[in-house]
Structure 1
Amino acid sequence: MTTQPRFVSPDDLPDTLWRWREKAMCLPPDLVAAWTRLLNRHELRQLAEQPRPEKGPIGGISKEATDQHLAWSFTGSSARVELAMLDAQTSMPDIADALMQVFSGGRVAVADLPCGSGAAILTILTTLAELRRQGRVPREPLEVVITAGEFSEQARAYAAEGIHTVRASLEAQAIWVDPTFLHWDVCDAMSNSDLIREMTLRSQACGARMLVMANFSGFLQREGKWNDARPQFDELFRHSRDENSSVVWIEPQSNEVTHEKGGFFSRLRQWLEKTWARFIQTAQREGERAALAKAEAQVVDALNPKRRFNVHLAVMRLDLRLQR
């Protein structure tokens, strides 16, 4: 079987994102600048420099929980998204190339759910901008229409501030963003319907649609909210089907997520196969099902470049294309 060329060859990744000699990933410079500005402006730098608890925060309603997540978990969340996009060690080329292809140009609608403090969408945008800045991908005009849903008002405010911070550097690379940030309670049917209505209205005239679901397993699995949330996911997936629509679900690679019996992705896959088998297409690699992929890497610490931390990624990608 002929190997398909990569959208961005791992050998061609710039040193600003991947250090081949050390085999270490670097967070995009614009992302680091936006995150540290948030920390400094909201007096969270000292908290971020403290050792992270063994079981890091999963976010929450309170400002304290949101601040802890921004300080201790933002860069880990960002690193997982970047690793899925770059795939420097060729662990998931189909998923990485699909992500890069969607954002190669044109008008794209992205739903970032739950958006938290903006780690996922900010990482996608700043990684793209850095690849363009370094001449690794063409600077085709790209408009990204962002619908970000999140329960925490404080987290939404941080995400909006982060987008505002990077806007000028994105536009310098021919990337324009049109974001809106909405209250979203995945366990509430009315809240979910309001979000879907906004997504539908804002996705008009978009050539591609993508749901980015990231860092949700702590709430859905650990806190036991999956059964309450499942009807809303049914509605969300049903109304997200389109000619060129997909879902990328990114989580930490842990037993809680990847265990074949009882892990979150196992539960998610059972739901997909039972409810959506007729309508979805899972990513394929060399003729075999590759809906779930894993990768890991060392990452340069954004606050102390001499340090490294490990990131472990588990990701699923699904196509939600209309069936004719």
Structure 2
Amino acid sequence: MNWRESRLLNPKLIPDSLWDTENAILLLPPSLVKAYVTLIKRHDLQGLADSRDSKNPPTGGLTQEKTDEHFAQAFDGSVARAQLALLDPKCHAELSSNAYIRSLAGNKLSLTDAPCGAGAAAFSFLANIAELRAKGVLPRQPLDVCLIGAELSAPARVYAQSLLEELCIELEKQAIFVEAEFISWDVTEQLSNTDVIKKMICASVTHPRRLLIVANFNGLLERDRKKKLAEPQFNELFRHASGKNSVALWIEPDMNRATSNGGLFHWLRANIKNVWSKFIQETSDSNEPILTSTAEFQLPLTLSETATVRLALMPLSLGRTK
């Protein structure tokens, strides 16, 4: 059996509402695009979105101004990056795609997105699954999700809650039911991390399947040099997230700060090997521990234009070995 036959989501079955095969362009899930456009209009952010500069992308921040800038100019790219990891239309991470599809297929799921920002990664996964169900690609089995969005920026958490309110009706049409809580999380602070872990433990009692998404953390950990401060909290986060039916992924833009020797993923691999080996392992589709992919995606606010999304992905198994 070759890998194409073993995939849960054959790339040939990805609907044209998500992937333009002829032009190799990602299309963001219609339900999420609708919700996003609604919020952009509600908060009068179209002008800010139109001023995006691909050579100088926003990094986000704790203020309303920084959050607005990131939401208007970079949220769509974060959605596309998570979508590329899930759908894998270019077949760069097929076994990883299987793990995420399996987690989201049905039943009860505890989904932790940390840091969640405005919810790009989690909502991308859920909205893509909803669209695959709507097009008859995946079965429409009830999926009850307990979503924990952990994020330091209060304005970003407000955007995440508002997006979910716009999105939930379309998700529920496809038997995806989400209960969410967006809480403050400072990865460099022990007590803040403990609050997130408590929420994860409580959620896993009723929602035994667990999926942990860590996305777009490169700026804080690398640029702001917070890895050493954050390391003890990641130790606890991964340890408490581990167990049966637990998977995780770490998503970053494919740039040198993340993928080079001495970069973020190099640090992550070293910790997996030397510190976290009892409860976390790398899972890869090849001999390369870091999976990468690139695609163009249609801009949701300017449908005639596209932008490039670059993905660096480290899939992780949280099954305990001891």
Structure-1-length-normalised TM-score: 0.96
Q: What is the distance in 1 between the residues matched to 2:183 and 2:13?
A: 38
Whether the 8 Å contact between 1:129 and 1:175 is mirrored in structure 2 is yes
Instruction: Summarize the alignment of residues 168-187 of structure 1 with structure 2, pairs less than 5 Å apart.
Output: 168-187=169-188
**What residue number does 1:71 align with?**
72
**What residue number does 2:145 align with?**
144
Whether the 8 Å contact between 1:36 and 1:45 is mirrored in structure 2 is no
Q: What amino acid is the match of 1:226?
A: K
Q: Relative to 1, partners in 2 of residues 1:195 and 1:278: Cα closer, same or farther, differing over 3 Å?
A: closer
**What residue number does 1:296 align with?**
294
Q: What is the distance in 2 between the residues matched to 1:98 and 1:291?
A: 16
**What residue number does 1:83 align with?**
84
Q: What amino acid is the match of 1:79?
A: A
Whether the 8 Å contact between 1:61 and 1:151 is mirrored in structure 2 is yes
Whether the 8 Å contact between 2:58 and 2:69 is mirrored in structure 1 is yes
**What residue number does 2:311 align with?**
313
SS of residue in 2 equivalent to 1:136:
coil
**What residue number does 1:230 align with?**
231
Whether the 8 Å contact between 2:115 and 2:214 is mirrored in structure 1 is yes
SS of residue in 2 equivalent to 1:52:
coil
Q: What amino acid is the match of 2:305?
A: R
Instruction: Summarize the alignment of residues 152-301 of structure 1 with structure 2, pairs less than 5 Å apart.
Output: 152-259=153-260, 261-285=261-285, 288-301=286-299
Report the Cα offset of residue 278 of structure 1: 3.2
Report the Cα offset of residue 240 of structure 1: 1.1
Report the Cα offset of residue 289 of structure 1: 4.1
Q: Does 1:46 align with 2:44?
A: no
Q: What amino acid is the match of 2:198?
A: R
Report the Cα offset of residue 290 of structure 1: 4.6
Q: What is the distance in 2 between the residues matched to 1:207 and 1:317?
A: 20
Equivalenced residue count is 321
Deviations 1:259-313 (A, max 9, x none): 1x2211111111111112233232143xx54532100111111122221111110
**What residue number does 2:101 align with?**
100
Q: What amino acid is the match of 2:82?
A: V
Whether the 8 Å contact between 2:147 and 2:179 is mirrored in structure 1 is yes
SS of residue in 2 equivalent to 1:154:
helix
Q: What is the distance in 2 between the residues matched to 1:190 and 1:136?
A: 43
Q: Relative to 1, partners in 2 of residues 1:253 and 1:79: Cα closer, same or farther, differing over 3 Å?
A: same
Q: What is the distance in 2 between the residues matched to 1:269 and 1:156?
A: 30
**What residue number does 1:16 align with?**
17
Q: What is the distance in 2 between the residues matched to 1:284 and 1:230?
A: 23
Q: What is the distance in 2 between the residues matched to 1:323 and 1:257?
A: 27
Q: What is the distance in 2 between the residues matched to 1:257 and 1:173?
A: 36
SS of residue in 1 equivalent to 2:6:
coil
Instruction: Summarize the alignment of residues 51-66 of structure 1 with structure 2, pairs less than 5 Å apart.
Output: 51-52=52-53, 54-66=55-67
Following superposition, which runs of at least 4 residues in structure 1 exceed 3 angstroms of deviation? 288-291
Q: What amino acid is the match of 1:138?
A: P
Report the Cα offset of residue 8 of structure 1: 1.2
Q: What is the distance in 2 between the residues matched to 1:55 and 1:263?
A: 21
Report the Cα offset of residue 55 of structure 1: 2.7
Report the Cα offset of residue 54 of structure 1: 2.0
Q: Relative to 1, partners in 2 of residues 1:322 and 1:277: Cα closer, same or farther, differing over 3 Å?
A: closer
Q: What is the distance in 2 between the residues matched to 1:103 and 1:280?
A: 20
Gaps of at least 5 residues in structure 1 are none
Whether the 8 Å contact between 2:15 and 2:135 is mirrored in structure 1 is yes
SS of residue in 2 equivalent to 1:262:
coil
Q: What is the distance in 1 between the residues matched to 2:295 and 2:2?
A: 27
Structure-2-length-normalised TM-score: 0.97
Whether the 8 Å contact between 1:246 and 1:318 is mirrored in structure 2 is yes
Whether the 8 Å contact between 1:282 and 1:289 is mirrored in structure 2 is no
Whether the 8 Å contact between 1:58 and 1:69 is mirrored in structure 2 is yes
